[in-house]
Amino acid sequence: MSRRRFLMTIGTGLALAGPAGAIAQGARIKPGPGDALIVVDMQNCFVPGGTLPVAGGDQIVPLVNGLARAFENVVITMDWHTPGHVSFASSHAGKKPFETVSLPYGTQVLWPDHCIQGTKDAELVPGLQIPHAHLVIRKGHRRHIDSYSAFYEADGKTPTGLTGYLRERGIQQTFFVGLATDFCVAWSALDARKAGFAAYVIEDATRGIDAGGSLGKAWHDMTGAGVKRIMSSDIERS
């Protein structure tokens, strides 16, 4: 074997086992009837100019639109809070955004007021073009409980109904894009695994908040739970 050929082989081997290495290079996924794309919280609140902006959140819109065209099953989620929601720092005297409080269901990170039902801030970003999406799940709509996950509210037991919907539709594999990688995307992908679905996060079609190391922890938890970390180039688009 020539030295050059040998190095190329090593190079490929590393790519196969690399950090993003859920999918062997070259083995692209062609979405079919058993696959659903779940587009998480692509709302004005989470892009620059919104109330809880995720850096670069607006940049993924064209990629999300393009990926959605490759899936016949698309579900959209929306963060949909009441005014005075328990996850808002403004609801807790003396507390500031990104601090935490202890609530009956566990530790809650506190956020600026965001995604209030019926406001412009809570609307889907205007550039999102997924007319064929079948279902919109609104979550976090109960004043006293947050819901990052598209499947279960933050008590871990109140269902949104998404598990039943996907099962009844014969979906086996779920693919996640949107905002934010380390909160609503991660919690949703982890719950998808708990419900028995295969789960893939398309990394370059997400952006994270990364509060206090939350992004690294989210990837650690996700890969530990069997969530596959892939890139948009791993999805076959016609």
Residues that bind Zn ion (CB under 5 A): 79
Q: How many CB atoms lie within 10 A of CB 164?
A: 12
CB under 5 to 8 A by kind: which of Zn ion, ligand VGL, none does 180 bind?
ligand VGL
Stretch that binds ligand VGL, among 13-21, 127-135, 167-175, 180-188 (CB under 6 A): 180-188
Is there a contact between 124 and 43 (Cβ–Cβ < 8 Å)? yes
Nearest to 85 by CA among 116, 118, 124: 116
Q: Which 73-92 residues touch ligand VGL, going by CB under 6 A? A: 79
Among 183, 197, 200, 219, binds ligand VGL (CB under 6 A): 183
Q: How many residues bind ligand VGL (CB under 6 A)?
A: 9
d(CA 179, CA 125): 12
Q: How far apart are CA 127 and CA 58, in angstroms?
A: 9
Yes or no: say if 113 and 106 are a contact pair by the CB < 8 Å rule: no
CB of 140 to Zn ion, least distance (A): 5
**Catalytic residue numbers, as ranges:** 41, 139, 184
Report the residue from 76, 89, 154, 179 that binds ligand VGL according to the rule CB under 6 A: 179
Helix (H, G, I), strand (E, B) or coil at 51: coil
Q: Rounded to the nearest whole angstrom, what is the least distance from the CB of residue 118 to ligand VGL in the complex?
A: 17
Q: Is the Cβ of residue 110 or residue 130 nearer to ligand VGL in the bound state? A: 110
Q: Which is nearer to ligand VGL, 73 or 87 (CB)?
A: 87
Only one of the segments 60-68, 99-107, 117-125, 176-184 lies at the binding site for ligand VGL (rule: CB under 6 A); that segment is 176-184
**143, amino acid identity:** R
Among the listed residues 205, 197, 194, 212, the one whose alpha carbon sits nearest the alpha carbon of residue 229: 205
β-pairing verdict for 100-103 and 106-109: antiparallel
User: At closest approach, how far in Å is the CB of 92 from Zn ion?
Assistant: 15
180 sits near ligand VGL (criterion: CB under 6 A): yes
168 CB contacts (<8 Å, ≥6 apart)? none
Per-residue string for binding with ligand VGL, 39-58, x by CB under 6 A? --x----x------------
Residues 6+ apart with CB under 8 A from 132: 68, 72, 74
Which stretches of the chain bind ligand VGL, using CB under 6 A? 41, 46, 79, 111, 148, 179-180, 183-184
